[in-house]
Structure 1
Amino acid sequence: MTRGHSPQDAASEAALGAASAALGYLLWGLSVIFYKQLTDVPPFEVLAHRSVWSVVLTLLMIFALARRDALMVVLRDRRTMLTLTGTGLLIGSNWFVFIYSINEARIVETSLGYYINPLVSVLLGVAFLGERLSRPQIFAVLLAVAGVAVFAWELGTLPWISLFLAGSFAAYGYLRKVSRATPLEGLFIEVLVLLPLALVYLWWLSENGGTSFGNGSWFTWTFLILTGPMTTVPLFLFAFGAQRIRLATLGLMQYLAPTTQFFVAVFLYGEPLAPIQVMTFALIWIGLAIFSFDTWRMERRLRQTAALSDET
């Protein structure tokens, strides 16, 4: 056995991967605090700056990590470029609604959307990838649907923020799954797709009263520049961790982000949490618990079967 493949090295890599992925999800959860500092800036302008500075940072990372050849492979693949154009528009709309919900003090609805997201992803897998659900997983999805229905009944309308965030991010995840693009290069192309729209909007603002970047304080323009790192760093940490830990572990970790958002909304910003919302979250949390346990149980059974096959 080589040193690079020793059990100690494997355990160390797994621990490093788990810490990286957890930090990425935690940063995603805490990003609501970051974007709360920009509530005086129109959401479209925040999105425009997020696109501009993300292009700058991802391009620097591609050169620093010597990923230019990998980027050229993506740029030459017409099918991948078409897919990334779609994912760029999807993630851009997801970012906008996320920023809008923070500006409107509706972070609880944001966290609800990201709790629902894994179950929407499952339904996309069933519809487009031919995946099958076990009975506990079907029950988990039905509990989530019931939770959303209860919330909609109380609101008198569909919780569009939650549903849009869940649906757009699930569709984004599905398209990235079937795409051949690597995470860093894929993100660069996605924000590059948004760049012309961002630059046109910022130019229009500058011609009609000026931008927050030009007219705002150093505090505002510093945070606008930092939207680049706040976009790319969590994704890079996630990609680094995803390569080193099991998919089931990564799946459980994804609930760290909406849980952080939920606690920030309720305990830091004092967003109201009515009894009907508590019931909604309870139904979804129970559904997620059932779904996660059943997924873990099935993966454990597959690992045991594979181990027995290797022994024979």
Structure 2
Amino acid sequence: MPTAPPVAQTPRGLIAITISSVTWGLLPIYWNALHSVQPNTVLAYRIITTVVTMALLLVVLRRHRHFFATISKLWSNTRLFILAVIAALLISANWLLYIILVSVGKTLEASASYFLMPVMNMLIALIVLRERTNVYGWASLVLAAVGVCIFIAGSGGVPWLGLIMALSFCGYGLLKRVVPLDSWQSITFETAVVTPLAFLWILWQPGFGIVHQDLGVIILLMGAGIVTAIPLITFAYGVQHCQYLTVGFVQYLNPTLQFLSAILFLHEAINHTMLIAFCMIWLSLAVYSFALTAQYRATQKVIRNLQVDDAQHAAD
């Protein structure tokens, strides 16, 4: 079976993937600064400014023709086009729920959800894709479940918004396995699909949803597309110039910084029970990461052995 070509990890690739994770991790501070604006309105401006930003970048980088050619090909396949539209709706729902959580002071819940996403993806792989895991994978699932139960006990209720947000992103990731769009094309298409809805919402709002807002808030709304595009672009570059195992570990910076931002900058309260819950989730991720590392090393060993065998056969 053919294997993906090895990726040569470069310092620029590592810097790029770090920038994306740090930016995503600090975004709660940005969205919190927009708490005076309705979450739906923030989402609408984020969608519109993102599609404008991506369109300009595609033109400047001369990728617009390839983008339209790809979308035209996608349009000819009704099933894939519908899946791409559903993906656009899922990522929009994910963005909205995230903005709501931050605006109501539940960034810790959002952080916990992002910590759980790798484990939730594994659960989806087991149920939907019928993939298999080892004892470490099952152990990480059990630890994550215990962590969620403790979090519920500490927070006083089921974190429905956080869980739905995580599931929406997991579903989005599942659809991205079959929709043939790269990261640049994907974010441009997905924001373009929901831009009409965003425009309708803004036009329906008195004063376009920003009446009586000060200049600083308006500037932040106009910059939402840039802060959305930057981590996506750097992530796209990073995954092409980093080993995927490195990508997986560095991405844990995102929920970690969300957790720290919630406590240090947004001053959200965390009790001992919730802290224990986070410790259980972190332990789950540690076990999950160990399983991935072991699997990666085993795969690399098999590849090396095959390469040695091929070299010996060629010599013979």
Normalising by structure 1, report the TM-score: 0.92
Say if 2:120 and 2:170, in contact at 8 Å, map to a contact too: yes
Aligned equivalents of 1:183, 1:44: Cα separation in 2 = 24
1:153 CA displacement = 3.2
- Aligned counterpart, 2:166: 166
Larger displacement relative to structure 2 (232-241 or 158-167): 158-167
CA distance in 1, matches of 2:212, 2:296: 55
What root-mean-square deviation, in Å, do the aligned CA atoms of Structure 1 and Structure 2 show?
1.8
Separation of aligned partners in 1, 2:216 and 2:264? 25
- AA partner of residue 36 (structure 1): N
Letter in 2 for 1:210: G
Q: Distance in 2 between matches of 1:121 and 1:22?
A: 22
Paired letter, 2:167: G
Q: Which residue is equivalent to 2:282?
A: 285
Structure 1: distance between partners of 2:58 and 2:81: 17
Map residues 56-135 of structure 1 onto 2, 5 A cutoff. Answer: 56-71=52-67, 72-77=69-74, 78=77, 79-135=79-135
The answer to whether the 8 A contact 1:88-1:191 is kept is yes
Paired with 2:115 and 2:265, the residues of 1 have a C-alpha distance of 20
Which residue in 1 is equivalent to 2:16? 20
Is it true that 1:273 corresponds to 2:264 in the alignment? no
Code of the residue aligned with 2:242 in structure 1: it is: I
* Residue among 240, 251, 266 paired with 2:237: 240
Deviations 1:29-51 (A, max 9, x none): 11111111111101000000001
> Of residues 196, 205, 208 in structure 2, which corresponds to 1:211?
208
Contact 1:108 1:265 in 2 (8 A): yes
SS at structure 1 position matched to 2:207: coil
Pairing 1:175–2:171 present: no
Quote how far apart the aligned CAs of 1:156 are: 4.3
Work out whether residues 113 and 161 of structure 1, in 8 Å CA contact, stay in contact via their aligned partners in 2.
no
Which segment drifts farther, 124-133 or 247-256? 124-133
- Pick closer, same or farther for the CA change 1:267–1:155 going to 2, 3 Å: closer
Q: C-alpha distance in 1, partners of 2:266/2:22?
A: 18
Between the aligned partners of 1:241 and 1:200, the Cα distance in structure 2 is: 36
**1:227-250 deviation line (CA, Å, top 9, x unaligned):** 001111111111111112122111
Quote the offset at 1:215 in angstroms. Answer: 3.9
Instruction: Give me the whole-angstrom Cα distance separating, in 2, the residues matched to 1:269 and 1:31.
Output: 12
Q: Which residue matches 1:5?
A: none
Give the Å deviation of 1:176: 1.0
The structure 1 segments of at least 4 consecutive aligned residues displaced by more than 4 Å after TM superposition are none
What are the superposed Cα offsets for residues 76-114 of structure 1, whole Å, 9 maximum, x if unpaired?
Answer: 313332222111110111111111111111111110010
Give the alignment of 1:216-235 within 5 angstroms: 216-235=213-232
Residue in 2 that maps onto 1:4? none
For 2:166 and 2:115, the matched residues in 1 are separated by 8
Question: Are 1:29 and 1:257, in contact at CA under 8 Å, matched by a contact in 2?
Answer: yes
Question: Which residue number in structure 1 is paired with residue 41 of structure 2?
Answer: 45
Structure 1: segments with no counterpart, 5+ residues: 1-9
Q: Distance in 1 between matches of 2:33 and 2:236?
A: 27
Q: Which amino acid aligns with 1:131?
A: E
2:145 is aligned to: 145
After TM superposition, the score normalised by the length of structure 2 is 0.91
**What are the superposed Cα offsets for residues 275-307 of structure 1, whole Å, 9 maximum, x if unpaired?**
110111011100100110111111011101211
Contact in 2 for aligned 1:212/1:220 (Cα 8 Å): no
Partner secondary structure for residue 210 of structure 2 = helix
Q: Find the aligned partners of 1:69 and 1:131 in 2 and give their Cα distance.
A: 38
Query: Can you give the 5+ residue segments of structure 2 that lack an aligned partner in the other structure?
Result: 1-6, 310-316
- The answer as to whether partners of 1:74 and 1:80 remain within 8 angstroms in 2 is no
In the TM superposition, 1:246-257 aligns within 5 A as 246-257=243-254
Aligned to 1:7: none
CA distance in 2, matches of 1:213, 1:41: 7
